[in-house]
Amino acid sequence: MPKNEGGLTTVHVSTQKTWYGGELQAFLLICGLRERGHRVIVFARRGGEFSARARDAGFEVREIERRGRGPKSLWTMRQWLKEIGPDITHAHDSHALTAVGLASIGRKIPLRIAARRVDFPVRSALKFTRLVDVVIAISTPVAQVCSEGGIPVEMLRVVHSGVDPSRVRTGCRVRGREVLDISEDEILVLMVANLTHHKGHDTLLRAMPSILDRYPNVRLALAGSGELDETLHQQVHVLGLDHSIRFLGFRSDIPDLLAAADLFVMPSLQEGLCTSLIDAMFAELPVVATSAGGIRDLLGLDSSEGPCGHIVEPGDSKSLSDAVLDAIEDPREVNRLAQRGLARAKTHFTHTRMIEGTLSVYRETLTLPLRQSA
């Protein structure tokens, strides 16, 4: 059991080079664990954002090469695990799971955890069943996909992602609108997401002509970067929407953008949970979103209170444009839904709740007779 004077000794592994929502969740978690008196050691990709930010925050960081699966990296991690003797290893991405899972074989680590943050089909259940003891899914739909992919139900736990509400409260509407050069008589629609296929940007762009036909003063801001940047720019040009749509790239001023916006749209085709939607809920923004994946959990589609936003089916641009128009034309209803969303976010989706939920999984499963590394 714990060797850290009553606290847990935990190793957290990230092989990602860049910084996305999963890395933010892992960072919030390690900060919360340290604040609660637990020891945190980070194994992270050399030259990656997670390694740099963890080191800047004062964490003990040990760097691995790329995805950590080469013979030298695996041997090095095995030696580190022997030296540290952790109570828990926590892999925060798929490659990290493979790397630390292989490195842990024979080390008799009390608990090996893997995070599952996407609702994509599971490619290899064997990797999970052989290399970890528990899989933490960030939403009920993600857990369902894991189960359907062959991961035993008894291995699965659901802990929703969460955000720091105080970050959103730093946003300033005037500052955000000035930066974007948006006047008060324009309606700002905001989407914050990486420019990747599963986020559904194409659906939103196809919905825009109908929206602009009725409200020419709508302006769409797309915050995020990714492999579809050029493709989406071309689509905007072909649709003749260059004047109305702005690609903002990666932004560090998301709170200001949220404060500046009048409506938040998330047209995802697939979604683990979507922390940018949580930010929008804390910003009390009206929301139009699809029912993809973990958005069902987030917006309460299956709750007794009902959804806290306008909901459409993934990939349906006509329904999406209709929902955006409904939101624009019925401010009283969208404000009511936004208040419901704020209450739901406060109850279920704070970073504090995520940290405590993860700790509950740690404590619960450390007391169970878990399968030891072979």
Q: Do 341 and 238 fall within a single domain?
A: yes
Q: Do 90 and 229 fall within a single domain?
A: no
Residue ranges making up the domain that contains 44? 9-162+351-366
Q: Do 214 and 340 fall within a single domain?
A: yes
Per-residue pLDDT 10s for the chain (374 aa) are 345 656 899 999 999 888 888 899 999 999 999 999 999 999 999 999 999 999 999 999 999 987 766 788 888 999 999 999 999 999 999 999 999 999 998 888 999 999 999 988 998 899 999 999 999 999 999 999 999 999 999 999 999 999 999 999 999 999 999 999 999 999 999 999 999 999 999 999 999 999 999 999 999 999 999 999 999 999 999 999 999 999 999 999 999 999 999 999 999 999 999 999 999 999 999 999 999 999 999 999 888 787 999 999 999 999 999 999 999 999 999 899 999 999 999 999 999 999 999 999 999 988 754 444 43
Q: Do 221 and 328 fall within a single domain?
A: yes
Full-model pTM: 0.90
Q: What pLDDT is attached to residue 13? A: 96
Q: Do 169 and 156 fall within a single domain?
A: no
Q: Do 291 and 228 fall within a single domain?
A: yes
Q: Do 192 and 304 fall within a single domain?
A: yes
Specify if 280 maps to a domain: yes
Q: What is the 3-state secondary structure (H, E, C) of the chain?
A: CCCECCECEEEEEECCCCCCHHHHHHHHHHHHHHHCCCEEEEEEECCCHHHHHHHHCCCEEEEECCCCCCHHHHHHHHHHHHHHCCCEEEECCHHHHHHHHHHHCCCCCCEEEEEECCCCCCCCHHHHHHHCCEEEECCHHHHHHHHHCCCCHHHEEECCCCECHHHHCCCCHHHHHHHHCCCCCCEEEEEECCCCHHHCHHHHHHHHHHHHHHCCCEEEEEEECCCCHHHHHHHHHHHCCCCCEEEEECCCCHHHHHHHCCEEEECCCCCCCCHHHHHHHHCCCCEEEECCCCHHHHCCCCCCCCCCCEEECCCCHHHHHHHHHHHHHCHHHHHHHHHHHHHHHHHHCEHHHHHHHHHHHHHHHHCCCCCCCC
Specify if 178 maps to a domain: yes
Q: Do 341 and 214 fall within a single domain?
A: yes
Q: CATH number for the domain including 151?
A: 3.40.50.2000
Q: Do 175 and 47 fall within a single domain?
A: no
